[in-house]
Amino acid sequence: MGKEKTIFDEKYHFLIEELTMERKRLNISQAELAKFIGVKQPDISKIEKFERRLDVLEFSLILRAFRVSDNLRLQQLTKTFFGI
């Protein structure tokens, strides 16, 4: 059998759950986030429901939308996810 798809990985699920909580904490709607990163609102919904994998460039834009440079918790989450 082949390797399990990364969309089902625990580490990936944790990251998406944390990003979803952060979006809600910052009071940013799915539609607002979608517009900021250049996708449609249903794409954000699918990412948050693990029906669509988050692209690395979209991840970068989400970090920018969430003001990662001012957000120590999000900085730590990103470092932990990438193992740095």
Kindly report the CATH number assigned to the domain that includes residue 35.
1.10.260.40
**Number of domains composing the chain:** 1
Residue 77 lies in a domain: yes
* pLDDT level of residue 71 (50, 70, 90 thresholds): very high
Residue 2 lies in a domain: no
Is residue 8 over pLDDT 90?
Answer: no
Residue 50 lies in a domain: yes
DSSP letter string over the chain?
--PPPGGG-HHHHHHHHHHHHHHHHTT--HHHHHHHHTS-HHHHHHHHTTSSPPPHHHHHHHHHHTTGGG-HHHHHHHHHHHT-
Which pTM does this prediction carry?
A: 0.89
pLDDT tens digits for range 19-70: 999 999 999 999 999 999 999 999 999 999 999 999 999 999 999 999 999 9
Domain that holds residue 46: 8-82
